[in-house]
Amino acid sequence: MKSIIVNEEYQTGYTYTLTEPIGKNFSDDFSPQLTPKQMLKLGVFGGNYFKQRPDEFPKDWFEGVAFSGNGASDKQLNFFRVNASQPLEVWQKKGWIYFEDPKGWFLWYCRYYQGRRIADEDLRQIKRWKNMRRHIAQLRNKCRVGDVNCRPRQRQALLHWAYDSRII
């Protein structure tokens, strides 16, 4: 087991323990199609989820990743060149942010992928991830397979949740 001490712009003084090997031993009902590294390289969150490379994650996750640089989301840095995000304040108002992961689902996923486990929170976040499947059904009903120009905002949103919408 390894402890991670977080002192980043988004959270300071937080410590968590990695209890599983990186990328292994996921819950049986959680099978993301993309790793955090793949998501970042594809272009998610307009290059603004992290303002700079966080020290808590492997450096290679951020090789070749574009950051918006100005503190604002840049839709041109997203794979589908559209904005598919709501501001963090919306997520906070709706009560979707867990205090241990102040930036939301993707931060939870990065830490889960690294090997952190928090039983109740993992169940909650995996349930939220599964709820995104409704968007996959909509794409399958409305778009030809591989037509990445069909419903790009919905496809970008799915990328944010580790579904590879390029292949739907």
Query: Which residue shows structure tokens 């490379």?
Result: 53
Task: Report whether pLDDT(72) > 90.
Answer: no
Q: Above pLDDT 90, what percent of the chain? A: 82
CB atoms inside a 10 Å sphere around CB 146? 9
For residues 166 and 168, what is the distance between their CA atoms, to the nearest angstrom? 6
114: tokens are 């690294």
Task: Report whether pLDDT(96) > 90.
Answer: no
- Residues with Cβ within 8 Å of 97's Cβ and at least 6 positions away in sequence, in order, are 88, 91, 103, 104
pLDDT at 147: 92
Q: How confident is the model over 43-62, as pLDDT tens digits?
A: 999 999 998 899 999 999 99
Q: How confident is the model over 110-158, as pLDDT tens digits?
A: 999 999 999 999 999 999 999 999 999 999 999 998 899 999 999 999 9
Residue ranges of domains in the chain: 21-43+86-167
The three-class DSSP label of residue 166 is helix
Task: Report whether pLDDT(71) > 80.
Answer: no
